[in-house]
């Protein structure tokens, strides 16, 4: 294993790899896993070129004892599709979708759960727990089932029924909290401490970022070793975005690339704590930001995109740093635009996203309109979760079927209507 320690995202104090807690002992900040990059670089090309078709082919840059999946399911190695230049996206000719909906539980979260489960096994834990808006929970439940571990999921009781059904089908103990995601999060922290469960919750657990960063490794491979100009990421807690950024930084650290993409942060208008903080830091116009002094905003979140509805982002600082360091855009989109993006993207590409996963499409469209992106840039939108996970809201914007009698005459009539 090439992992050699942790660095605090806020105060940069370092811990050794055997540090047993999850948060910085000095300031309580989130930790970021560090590696011996010189050691990881050795054999990296060979490891990356393996045909092993899952994310564990990136083992030299994963914090695990075993360089293979602890379950038979395939996580990662998802497809990336070029988007036809015509229409919807104003002539963009270098636009791609990274389709994370084909992971085992139908979201990008499986990458995080896969590494978390590997770490839980390494630490001898028998029960894994998570607080979730829905996808992290269905993901953990899925991969725990495939591994033979027990899982406990804390979700807001209002989570979409498809996500709750997934968790229950996988046999998780589902604790549907009468409160919001933030209430579920705090409860999961307290319960995991009391019962000794391995807590996979986003932000608190440093290993989720390590799993999700493999999405960036794959994009680089999918593009034949090119670095995109931007990667557009839907953001709630900020962990996914900071992970995508870390993936590119890792590739640079091991000498496989020599420049980095911009990472654009898309948030829903009424759940935009991270974008608000990015604007504040940029307004401050500081040359060298003192990250330990940056306090991420809190909001009263409310959006149809349940997966990114977050009052208090649990990995907000890491995401703010990533956007600022990469020179990315912070773009907020209305619920209306998010919902409109679902059929628009589905019809232009054949990829069906849940609201949060369609947000990058809406965000990119807005950035094009505002000339913050040009049509010739090489852009990747991450489609982070399947449309089948939340059809309730989508149903309102896709139109109605045409109900007919079972006769050819009825078909003829609706052709002319
Ligand atoms: C489908 C989907 N997209 C985007 C996100 C945002 O990830 P993060 O909360 O790490 O910012 C989530 C998180 O739940 C998600 O489920
Ligand atoms: Zn610290």
Please identify, by atom number, the ligand 1 atom nearest to the C-alpha of residue 241: 11
Q: What angle do CA 347, 109, 301 make, to 5 degrees?
A: 80
Ligand 2 centroid, distance to 203 Cα (angstroms): 14
Ligand 1 centroid, distance to 271 Cα (angstroms): 12
Ligand 2 centroid, distance to 126 Cα (angstroms): 29
Give the binding-site residues of ligand 1, using a 6 Å CB cut-off. 107, 109, 133, 135-136, 202, 234-241, 307-308, 354, 356-357, 384-385
Do residues 156 and 181 make contact, with C-beta atoms less than 8 angstroms apart? yes
Looking at residue 286, what is its pLDDT? 67
Dihedral, CA of residue 402, residue 404, residue 408 and residue 410, to nearest 10: -90
Q: Which of 263, 296, 309, 356 to mutate to test the pocket of ligand 1 (most atoms within 8 A of CB)?
A: 356
Q: Which of 131, 132, 307 to mutate to test the pocket of ligand 1 (most atoms within 8 A of CB)?
A: 307
Please identify, by atom number, the ligand 1 atom nearest to the C-alpha of residue 234: 4
Please identify, by atom number, the ligand 1 atom nearest to the C-alpha of residue 107: 1
Looking at residue 87, what is its pLDDT? 74
Looking at residue 252, what is its pLDDT? 97
Looking at residue 287, what is its pLDDT? 67
Looking at residue 46, what is its pLDDT? 73
Looking at residue 200, what is its pLDDT? 96
Looking at residue 45, what is its pLDDT? 72
Looking at residue 272, what is its pLDDT? 95
Please identify, by atom number, the ligand 1 atom nearest to the C-alpha of residue 385: 1
Looking at residue 52, what is its pLDDT? 62
Q: Which of 30, 385, 386, 389 to mutate to test the pocket of ligand 1 (most atoms within 8 A of CB)?
A: 385
Looking at residue 22, what is its pLDDT? 92
- How many C-beta atoms lie closer than 10 Å to residue 295's C-beta? 11
Please identify, by atom number, the ligand 1 atom nearest to the C-alpha of residue 100: 1
* Burial class of 292 by CB neighbour count within 10 A (0 to 12, 13 to 18, 19+): middle
Looking at residue 175, what is its pLDDT? 97
Ligand 2 centroid, distance to 31 Cα (angstroms): 8
Looking at residue 381, what is its pLDDT? 98
From the list 162, 172, 99, the residue with the least C-alpha distance to 135 is: 162
Between CA 376 and CA 84 the distance in angstroms is 13
pLDDT beneath 70, residues of the chain: 43, 49-52, 286-287, 417
Please identify, by atom number, the ligand 1 atom nearest to the C-alpha of residue 233: 4
* Burial class of 13 by CB neighbour count within 10 A (0 to 12, 13 to 18, 19+): middle
Do residues 113 and 140 make contact, with C-beta atoms less than 8 angstroms apart? yes
Ligand 2 centroid, distance to 15 Cα (angstroms): 10
Ligand 2 centroid, distance to 312 Cα (angstroms): 18
Between CA 260 and CA 267 the distance in angstroms is 22
Among protein residues, the one whose CA lies closest to atom 4 of ligand 1: 234
Looking at residue 66, what is its pLDDT? 87
Do residues 107 and 139 make contact, with C-beta atoms less than 8 angstroms apart? yes
């Amino acid at each position: 294993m090439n992992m050699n320690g942790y660095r605090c995202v806020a105060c940069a104090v370092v811990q050794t790899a055997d540090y047993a807690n999850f948060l910085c002992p000095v300031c309580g900040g989130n930790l970021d896993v560090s590696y011996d990059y010189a050691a990881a670089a050795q054999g990296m090309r060979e490891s990356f070129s393996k045909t092993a078709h899952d994310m564990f082919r990136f083992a030299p840059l994963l914090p695990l004892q075993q360089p293979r999946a602890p379950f038979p399911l395939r996580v990662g190695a998802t497809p990336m599709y070029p988007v036809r230049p015509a229409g919807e996206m104003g002539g963009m000719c270098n636009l791609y979708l990274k389709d994370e909906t084909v992971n085992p539980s139908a979201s990008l979260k499986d990458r995080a759960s896969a590494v978390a489960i590997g770490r839980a096994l390494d630490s001898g834990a028998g029960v894994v727990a998570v607080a979730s808006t829905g996808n992290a929970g269905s993901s953990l439940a899925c991969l725990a089932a495939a591994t033979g571990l027990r899982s406990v999921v804390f979700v807001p009781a209002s989570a979409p029924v498809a996500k709750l059904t997934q968790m229950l089908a996988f046999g998780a103990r589902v604790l549907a909290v009468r409160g919001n995601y933030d209430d579920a999060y705090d409860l999961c922290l307290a319960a995991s401490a009391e019962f000794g469960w391995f807590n996979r919750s986003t932000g608190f657990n440093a290993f989720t970022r390590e799993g999700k960063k493999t999405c960036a490794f794959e994009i680089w491979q999918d593009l034949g070793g090119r670095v995109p100009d931007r990667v557009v990421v839907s953001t709630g807690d900020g962990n996914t975005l900071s992970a995508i950024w870390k993936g590119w930084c890792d590739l640079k650290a091991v000498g496989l690339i020599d420049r980095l993409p911009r990472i654009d942060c898309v948030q829903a208008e009424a759940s935009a704590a991270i974008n608000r903080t990015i604007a504040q830091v940029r307004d401050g116009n500081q040359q060298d930001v003192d990250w330990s002094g940056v306090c991420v905003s809190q909001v009263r979140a409310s959006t149809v995109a349940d997966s990114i509805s977050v009052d208090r982002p649990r990995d907000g600082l890491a995401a703010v740093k990533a956007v600022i360091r990469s020179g990315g855009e912070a773009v907020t989109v209305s619920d209306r635009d998010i919902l409109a993006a679902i059929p628009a993207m589905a019809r232009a590409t054949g990829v069906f996203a849940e609201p949060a996963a369609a947000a990058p499409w809406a965000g990119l469209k807005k950035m094009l309109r505002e000339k913050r992106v040009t049509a010739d840039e090489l852009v990747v939108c991450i489609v982070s979760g399947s449309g089948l996970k939340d059809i309730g809201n989508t149903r309102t914007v896709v139109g109605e079927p045409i109900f007919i009698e079972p006769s050819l005459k009825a078909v003829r009539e609706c052709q002319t209507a």
